[in-house]
Amino acid sequence: MADGRAREYPAGRGRRYFAPERGGRPDLGMPPRVDALEAHVGPAEAEAIGRSLARDKVLGLIGERERFESAALQHRLVLVVAFEEVVPAPALSRLFGAHEDERVGEVYLHPREHRVLLFDNETGIRFEAVPGGHASDLRGLDGVAPVRGVRPAELRVDPADWLERAGDDEVRARFAERFGATPGRVAPLFVPLYELTFAGARGARRRVRIDALVGRPVRWPA
């Protein structure tokens, strides 16, 4: 502990200690390994995107010129809800007697606000409160990047994402109410982002997040 390699955290009425180099986060109550999407955007590419997003004076006269400072990789939590649902079959299928299709899939939710994460290669990640359509029509993060199991201490995370996440029963109830589908397993997944920092000539600082999947700006709910 004296060498600074151990961290302490409250446990009941006492204190406990853990070594971050072992990869665990007992201070957050996280399991030994968690699932995270692999980043497609590397540090050099993130820095190049950051430099391209730095603001300059309009026509060289108006506004404040910014300097790109840094790009820091972080991981934010979403909850993956597996589901099954019954939807009307396509018109052609109904001609041959199949009036309904049974579909299965996954929907990605913000861990506290229950907003639905949607993704496409052109715009990247966005969140919607009440997206239209059936759950199986929504494009989330399925197949976007490989999922790997990692030790929690390897990730820079927001503790509130984990500690304040909704319980599985609440997530399933909200999902069923919204989509009319049958929810199943709820699993955590960490999504890679870069936090870009800019500094203005007068000392003002600005922060922008981009996803580490296709490098598009993303407004991640608080």
| pTM score of the predicted model | 0.84
What does the pLDDT read at residue 124? 97
Mean pLDDT along residues 15-40: 80
pLDDT tens sequence across 93-142: 555 556 678 899 999 999 999 999 999 999 999 999 988 889 999 999 99
pLDDT of residue 119: 98
CB 62 within 8 A of CB 91: no
Q: What is the pLDDT of residue 1?
A: 39
> Residue ranges of the domains in the chain?
1-30, 31-211
What average pLDDT does this structure show over 38-59? Answer: 90
pLDDT bracket for residue 46 (50, 70, 90)? very high
List, in sequence order, every residue forming a beta bridge with 197; answer none if it has no partner: 70, 207
pLDDT of residue 59 exceeding 50, the answer is no
The pLDDT of 193-214, averaged and rounded, is 93
**Across 170-183, average pLDDT:** 94
Token pair belonging to 162: 């984990």
With 60 as the cut, is the pLDDT of residue 11 above it?
Answer: no
Mean pLDDT (the chain, rounded) = 87
Look at residue 3 and tell me whether its pLDDT is greater than 50. Answer: no
Q: Please spell the DSSP secondary structure of the chain, one letter per residue.
A: -TTS--EEEEETTEEEEE-GGG---TTTT--S-EEEEPPSS-HHHHHHHHHHH----BTTTBS--EEEEEEEEEEEEEEEEEEEEEEEPPHHHHHTT--EEEEEEEEEE-TTT-PEEEEETTTEEEEESS--S-GGG---STTTS-EEEE-GGGS-B-HHHHHTPPPHHHHHHHHHHHH--EEEEEEEEEEEEEEEEEEETTS-EEEEEEETTT--B-----
